[in-house]
């Protein structure tokens, strides 16, 4: 049986229905009374038919409507919601430092900005079969199974404007090990005779809050400890170096001892120092204000209950 041209024309849907489908796709399943964690286009189709919102509709049609506005309720993204009421103020002063400004005044030639943090719980793992090198038409082969040999930590400080790097591998990250890293940097030139050295850190245990400020600035009067707001590691420049280290030196991993992984990390640190250049950081406090304003409009920055 042949279908006439008239019968082959797809049905027309009113704009109000299209808008309603898009609105439903932007709700959580629980808000619709569905025992689901995410909506698929077929689940959305069943909902529309069960509620009588549409007499008949295909999943492909729903996908086409949602695709037009880049709505994908079947996908998810891990997200950290800032909860610090002073997030903008604390983050902005760090961004000012990256652009060599503090309290509205430009930094002098004898003032420095360092970004510091630690990679904790680094897994020391030995593959149960040696890694095989690549060959024509064959990539690197990495054994899936491994033996654990404990963990260690790597603490590092990065001179934001001069691309100088300092670091140490320790059994674990403690206040004493962090203070030892600070002491190493502060004893070296040009920091020893600097007018001010700004240390940008997150809110990790070893350098958290006012006690850390008092402890470090009492020992080094020219040190200014600057805390990022909570959940703002993406604004800490040393994290960029950590990501480079992870990709180029620690993935894949195959170490049988703390000394082995420490040797690799410190060798890469020395290698990177030879080729390092300041990161091209363009994100400013004005960009932050625009981002926060846009996110707030989408309710991305609402405090958690």
C-alpha to C-alpha distance for 226 and 113, rounded to whole angstroms: 10
Same domain, 128 and 232: yes
pLDDT digits (tens, 9 = 90+) for 51-78: 999 999 999 999 999 999 999 999 998 8
Per-residue pLDDT tens listing for the chain (305 residues): 555 554 555 568 999 999 999 999 999 999 999 999 999 999 999 999 999 999 999 999 999 999 999 999 999 988 777 788 899 999 999 999 999 999 999 999 999 999 999 999 999 999 999 999 999 999 999 999 999 999 999 999 999 999 999 999 999 999 999 999 999 999 999 999 999 999 999 999 999 999 999 999 999 999 999 999 998 989 999 999 999 999 999 999 999 999 999 999 999 999 999 999 999 999 999 999 888 887 765 554 443 33
Same domain, 153 and 263: yes
Query: In terms of Cα–Cα distance, which of 282, 273, 284, 240 is closest to 163?
Result: 273
Q: Look up residue 21 and give its two tokens.
A: 């489908």
Domain that holds residue 21: 10-68
Q: Look up residue 261 and give its two tokens.
A: 């992984």
Q: What is the crossing angle of helices 209-219 and 175-186, to 10°?
A: 40
Domain containing residue 197: CATH number: 3.30.420.10
Same domain, 257 and 164: yes
Same domain, 92 and 42: no
Same domain, 95 and 235: yes
Q: How many domains does the chain have?
A: 2
Q: Tell me the whole-structure pTM to 2 decimals.
A: 0.82
Same domain, 25 and 170: no
Same domain, 126 and 62: no
């Amino acid at each position: 049986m042949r279908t006439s041209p008239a019968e082959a024309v797809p049905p027309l849907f009113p704009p109000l229905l299209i808008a309603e489908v898009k609105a439903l796709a932007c709700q959580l399943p629980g808000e619709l009374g569905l025992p689901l964690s995410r909506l698929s286009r077929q689940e959305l189709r069943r909902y529309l038919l069960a509620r009588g919102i549409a007499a008949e509709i295909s999943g492909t049609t729903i996908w086409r409507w949602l695709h037009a506005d880049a709505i994908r309720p079947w996908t998810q993204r891990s997200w950290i919601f800032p909860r610090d009421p002073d997030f903008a103020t604390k983050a902005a002063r760090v961004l000012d430092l990256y652009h060599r400004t503090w309290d509205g005044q430009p930094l002098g030639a004898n003032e420095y900005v360092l970004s510091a943090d630690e990679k904790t719980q680094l897994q020391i793992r030995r593959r149960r079969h040696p890694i095989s090198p690549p060959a024509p038409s064959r990539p690197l082969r990495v054994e899936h199974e491994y033996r654990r040999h404990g963990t260690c930590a790597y603490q590092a400080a990065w001179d934001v404007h001069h691309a100088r790097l300092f670091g140490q591998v320790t059994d674990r990250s403690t206040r004493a090990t962090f203070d030892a890293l600070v002491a190493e940097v502060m004893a070296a030139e040009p920091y020893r005779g600097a007018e001010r050295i700004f240390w940008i850190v997150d809110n990790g245990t070893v350098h958290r809050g006012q006690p850390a400020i008092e402890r470090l600035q009492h020992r080094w009067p020219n040190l200014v400890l600057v805390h990022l707001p909570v959940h703002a590691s993406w604004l800490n420049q040393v994290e960029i170096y950590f990501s480079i280290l992870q990709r180029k030196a620690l993935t894949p991993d195959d170490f049988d001892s703390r000394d082995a992984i420490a040797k690799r990390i410190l060798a890469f640190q020395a290698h990177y120092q030879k080729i390092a250049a300041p990161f091209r950081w363009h994100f400013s406090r004005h960009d932050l204000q625009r981002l926060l304003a846009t996110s707030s409009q989408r309710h991305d920055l609402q405090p958690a209950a």
